A and B are shown apart, each in its own frame.
Chain A
Amino acid sequence: QSVLTQPPSLSGAPGQRVTISCTGSTSNIGADYDVHWYQQLPGAAPKLLIYGNTKRPSGVPDRFSGSRSGTSPSLSITGLQAEDEADYYCQSYDNVLSGWVFGGGTKLTVL
């Protein structure tokens, strides 16, 4: 059971917008630690998609965006494309565990 909670699955049609939520607790997201998001394509290693809640690494399309309203971070993908079909993970720091915690992952299906 993962420390951070994400919806297990989501789907959307090409061109649509989807949003993935990530819920934590007072020892991680609630303690104001940054949230980071990863994309994991089938058979590949995770790739950093969003860091510091809202920042995009160089090369990541601006269709991907991170937001955070208080203790509610989310990842949005606009203009959904077939190549976006992947697993998405949120990650933060936990001060009880004194290390990283991950969400269980959200499997995104492009219809």
Chain B
Amino acid sequence: QLQVQESGPGLVRPSETLSLTCVVSGDSINTTSYYWGWIRQPPGKGLEWIGSIYYYKITYYHPSLKSRVTISVDTSKNQISLTLNSVTAADTAVYYCARHRDRVSGADLWGHGTLVTVSS
């Protein structure tokens, strides 16, 4: 059964870089042609799409985050990574990794999410 699990530092200091990984288990991301996206949810608030990656290297990002975010895939580790530079308290959120079939489809598989708090 395919599973997705995010992990990260939990606490990041303001102005530093947030780095998260999403490990896919149960199947190789090499054998599929899915898109992989990152979505975040600030405490008590709604969902915000951050960006997605497909064909292992083609990325597209939310315009408001584009200058600070990078999504990449490491096929040898079967994982998708997210880095977000120059973080502020506004980046405090639960970060989810999710799978989708194409640009316009919904996400049919989500990880449990990982909480990242930005604080000194």
Q: A34-B104, A45-B110, A57-B108 are in contact. Are A99 and B47 (CB under 8 A)?
A: no
Q: With an 8 A cutoff between CB atoms, is B76 at the interface? A: no
Assembly CA distance A92 to B100 (angstroms): 12
Assembly CA distance A104 to B45 (angstroms): 8
Quote the shortest CB–CB distance from A106 to chain B (angstroms): 10
Quote the shortest CB–CB distance from A20 to chain B (angstroms): 14
Stretch at the interface among B9-17, B18-26, B57-65, B84-92: B57-65
Write out the residue numbers on chain B whose beta carbons fall within 8 Å of the beta carbon of A100. Answer: 37, 39, 49
Contact bitstring B43-73, A, C-beta under 8 A = 1, else 0: 0001111011000000011110000000000
Please tell me if the beta carbons of A89 and B46 are within 8 angstroms of each other in the complex: yes
Q: With an 8 A cutoff between CB atoms, is B103 at the interface? A: yes
Assembly CA distance A7 to B108 (angstroms): 24
Q: With an 8 A cutoff between CB atoms, is A2 at the interface? A: yes
A-B Cβ contacts below 8 A, count: 62
Q: A97-B63, A99-B52 are in contact. Are A46 and B108 (CB under 8 A)?
A: no
Q: Could you list some 29 contacts between A and B, CB below 8 A?
A: A33-B104, A34-B104, A34-B106, A36-B105, A36-B106, A38-B106, A45-B110, A45-B111, A45-B113, A46-B110, A47-B110, A48-B107, A51-B106, A57-B108, A89-B47, A93-B103, A98-B63, A99-B49, A99-B51, A99-B52, A99-B61, A99-B103, A100-B37, A101-B49, A102-B46, A102-B47, A104-B46, A105-B46, A105-B47
Q: With an 8 A cutoff between CB atoms, is B96 at the interface? A: yes
Write out the residue numbers on chain A whose beta carbons fall within 8 Å of the beta carbon of B106. Answer: 34, 36, 38, 48, 51-52, 91
Interface centre among B49, B62, B106 (most CB of A within 10 A): B106
